[in-house]
Amino acid sequence: MLIQIAVTVVFLVSGVSKLADMEAFQKTVTEVGVPSRVGYWFAWSLPILEMLLSVAMVFEFTRVPGHVLGLGLLLMFALVTWHVLRRKATIKCSCFGTLVPENFGPTTFARQAILTVGITIVLVDGTPFSWTTVTVTDWVSSITSAVGVVLLYVLLANYHRVFREKRD
């Protein structure tokens, strides 16, 4: 349950944070090579898709399709990351909007791999899960833990960025 909630929270935070700083995300979309004629549409639709997937991952009847589509989205993100790294380009990731100001790099792949493993575990486990039978205590502890993991990642990424800036 914790993995499922964590993945859901990550997709939700990612979508919301991109919408919160759409200008930066549109710049990233352009820099990675999305043609300008579809870039605006793509930049708006991707965060909305992430938020819709997070909602789909919550309900039992859409949970499996939501996770499968989430895997597809992560594959697309991995291909974009590979493309950027292959070009040796320095491009802001905007994966979490301005929450985590970092460039595409190995940590981007690591984050995608962790999310892919998480979604795969949820799908392979196959244990019937009903969000309505979860106790309030389980809800609160799982959501708090998932948000804590996201916040820890944001904190560490920003600490790393500040440390790197001071070193340079």
- Cα–Cα separations (whole angstroms), residue 71 to 36, 89, 117, 129, 165: 26, 25, 9, 19, 34
Instruction: Identify which has the larger pLDDT, 161 or 40.
Output: 40
- Structure confidence at residue 131 (pLDDT): 62
- C-alpha count within 13 angstroms, C-beta hemisphere, residue 65: 7
Query: Which residues constitute the domain of residue 160?
Result: 2-167
Q: Which tokens go with 16?
A: 């919301």
The pLDDT value given to residue 141: 79
Count of the separate structural domains present in the chain: 1
Tokens for 53? 């997937």
> What is residue 34's predicted lDDT score, i.e. its pLDDT?
92
Mean pLDDT rounded to a whole number for the chain: 85
Residue whose C-alpha is closest to residue 99's, from 62, 59, 66, 147: 147
